[in-house]
Amino acid sequence: MSGYAAPLEDMQFALEEVGGLDQVASLPGLEATDRDLVAQILEEGGKFASGVLAPLNEVGDQQGSRLENGVVRTPDGFAEAYEQFWQSGWNSVPFDPEYGGQGLPMLVSTALWEMWDAANLAFTLCPLLTQAGIDALTRHGSDEQKQTYMEKLVTGEWTGTMNLTEPQSGTDLGAIRARAERNGDHYLLRGQKIFITWGDHEMTENVIHLVLARSPDGPPGTKGLSLFIVPKYLVNEDGTLGRRNDVKPISLEHKLGIHASPTCVMGFGEDEGAVAYLIGEENRGIEYMFVMMNNARLGVGLEGLAISERAYQQAVAYAKDRVQGRAIQGSAMGGSKTPVAIINHPDVRRMLTDMKSRIEAMRALCYYTAGTLDTADRAADADEKRRAQARLDLLIPVVKAWCTDTGLEITSTNIQVHGGMGFIEETGAAQHYRDARITTIYEGANGVQALDLVGRKVVRDGGAEVRALHTDVRATLAEFSNGASGTASGTIAERLSAALQAHERASEWLIATFPGDPARGAAVSAPYLKLTGVLIGGWLMARSALAASHRLAAGDSNAAFLNAKLTTAEFFALHSLTQAPGLADAVTQGDAAVMALTDDQF
């Protein structure tokens, strides 16, 4: 398998020009963040990714985690890598210094997580769930709970999990059967959870489970669910570890990919009952859990970007090395009869440029979302905070679904670039594809994200936020029309304008149709989400092209990199934004065809 090198130059550009690093650094509590500091952090993070995590990726895939006598054993080198990860302070980057965090922006942390996901996705799934648990405790935990758990979770000395799904419930959380009963100052929890990522392991001395279970007196359905802390080992008043709690891994799932990540069936309370501590108030578990899920959805979308970058680097390396066939006669690349590297063949070049342009669009979207999250969390002005939260709510399902759908396509393209060798496990191309497959299902399958986008984020407010997005896109288009585009191609503006019109048409149809007939809107929610991803990706690529053009005009010495940014933005406009009118047609005209076949016609 090929190695990994963090694309530091493009990451720094996206942080500054799309993520709004300077604006984020001006938010309360983040004033110590500056470009030089961020560059140093990214450089060191890249070294850890390429030098420590990436070499373990293939090892983890081949060995997998295994359950032995009730203990989960991780692949060779994982425990040592995790020890180095948390001891080096990487887990604590975005968290409150009060609990041992470094207090840096989520924007910076997002860039770091891209590196680690790309280097070894199965490994980084472990601290990802810890991060989500920290967010839930920060917002809803009691002072005593924060005192007991936060510092060890923030540093990464302990890890966390998220326990929702049960065999009979799946996405329908209202069907959850796990129950908690009051027992003095705590609860006793009984039930079984499935698909629990890193539900158990030996890399840390404690694992803190956040578990969704039915309240003793709660109403049926989701309204009767509460959120509980269930530690693997109980914690004494002085912070030392006490006895083992009644929670254990029952089995590990045998999966298509991410073999190193133990996906556990967890048993709670099979003997005396698992000691559990209520977070917040009873019957508000769904509300609290969504805090974790939204955090995790951004993280999963980032996984789509990261694994795409890893696959792209592998595809480029192979295309430059693999010699096969002659250059096409009469092409700009020459007509020699001498065999050439396959990167010289137009269709291979098309695939690589498509991968590169869509990766840059995903990176722009992820970083833009992370910067918006920082603003929503920290802005001093109430109106600015409200606007950022509304934009963040709109972006989250798009980040999660569009980036993971695109990531799956790009890892598939990597196999295609390799030809027959891509289908052979030894090259490693297949692992990236297998690992990417789960991301479209994690944290709410992408069809659920599409329904969330349409029903909750576009229609519920009467289209206010999506129209605000359209206004921002028009502002970017105005920069092209007023001559501020410099060397950026007018093709970008032309295609972006057409995509904007298509998205406006589809959005207005949904706003008018969905309230009276939700089934019609639900039938076309997936193409609408893809259309939204394409539009926002194209908009942010246009902004990147403008920024690159301005830097060139100012005499920036890195002309090769900046000119490449202009090229990939134009490629995205011609090969991705051009899909928008057809997607809009699918939204506004395609609902009847979705439901036309009867059950027995399938």
> Residue type for 326, please?
R
Q: What is the pLDDT of residue 489?
A: 84
Catalytic residue among 17, 360, 443, 465: 443
Mean pLDDT, range 317-339, rounded to an integer: 80
* pLDDT class of 335 with cuts at 50, 70, 90: low
CB atoms within 10 A of CB 510: 24
* pLDDT class of 336 with cuts at 50, 70, 90: low
| Chain-centroid distance, C-alpha 133 | 16
* pLDDT class of 361 with cuts at 50, 70, 90: very high
pLDDT single digits (tens) 566-584: 999 999 999 999 999 999 9
- Assign domain 159-283 to its CATH architecture: Beta Barrel (2.40)
> Residue type for 278, please?
L
Mean pLDDT, range 340-363, rounded to an integer: 97
CA distance 328 to 108: 45
> Does the pLDDT value for residue 602 go beyond 80?
yes
Query: Which pairing describes strands 207-214 and 159-163: parallel, antiparallel, or unpaired?
Result: parallel
pLDDT single digits (tens) 371-404: 999 999 999 999 999 999 999 999 999 999 999 9
Counting Cα atoms < 13 Å in the Cβ hemisphere of 360 gives 32
pLDDT single digits (tens) 270-321: 999 999 999 999 999 999 987 767 778 999 999 999 999 999 999 999 999 9
Name the DSSP letter for residue 459: I
What rounded mean pLDDT belongs to the chain? 95
Can you name the CATH fold of 8-155? Butyryl-Coa Dehydrogenase, subunit A; domain 1 (1.10.540)
Mean pLDDT, range 405-428, rounded to an integer: 97
Known catalytic membership, residue 272: no
Residue 178 CB partners (closer than 8 Å, separation 6+): 166, 189, 190, 191, 192, 193, 211, 212, 213, 214, 268
Cβ(79)–Cβ(202) below 8 Å:
yes
> Does the pLDDT value for residue 325 go beyond 60?
yes
Alpha helices in 156-228 (DSSP H): none
pLDDT single digits (tens) 488-499: 789 999 999 999
Mean pLDDT, range 257-261, rounded to an integer: 98
Residue 371 CB partners (closer than 8 Å, separation 6+): 18, 19, 20, 21, 23, 24, 105, 107
**Domain regions of the chain by residue span:** 8-155, 159-283, 445-596
Q: What is the pLDDT of residue 329?
A: 66
> Does the pLDDT value for residue 218 go beyond 70?
yes
> In terms of Cα–Cα distance, which of 36, 53, 34, 137 is closest to 95?
137
Cβ(302)–Cβ(120) below 8 Å:
no
CA distance 197 to 209: 11
Cβ(314)–Cβ(414) below 8 Å:
yes
> Does the pLDDT value for residue 334 go beyond 70?
no
Q: What is the pLDDT of residue 168?
A: 85
pLDDT single digits (tens) 44-63: 999 999 999 999 999 999 99
Q: What is the pLDDT of residue 424?
A: 96
Direct distance between the N- and C-terminal alpha carbons of the chain, in angstroms, rounded to an integer: 41
CA distance 427 to 448: 34
CA distance 319 to 237: 59
Its sign, for the CA torsion 76, 78, 80, 81, is positive
pLDDT single digits (tens) 69-94: 999 999 999 999 999 999 999 999 99
pLDDT single digits (tens) 147-174: 999 999 999 999 999 999 999 887 778 8
CA distance 356 to 359: 5
Cβ(252)–Cβ(122) below 8 Å:
no
> Does the pLDDT value for residue 222 go beyond 80?
yes
> Does the pLDDT value for residue 330 go beyond 70?
no
* pLDDT class of 331 with cuts at 50, 70, 90: low
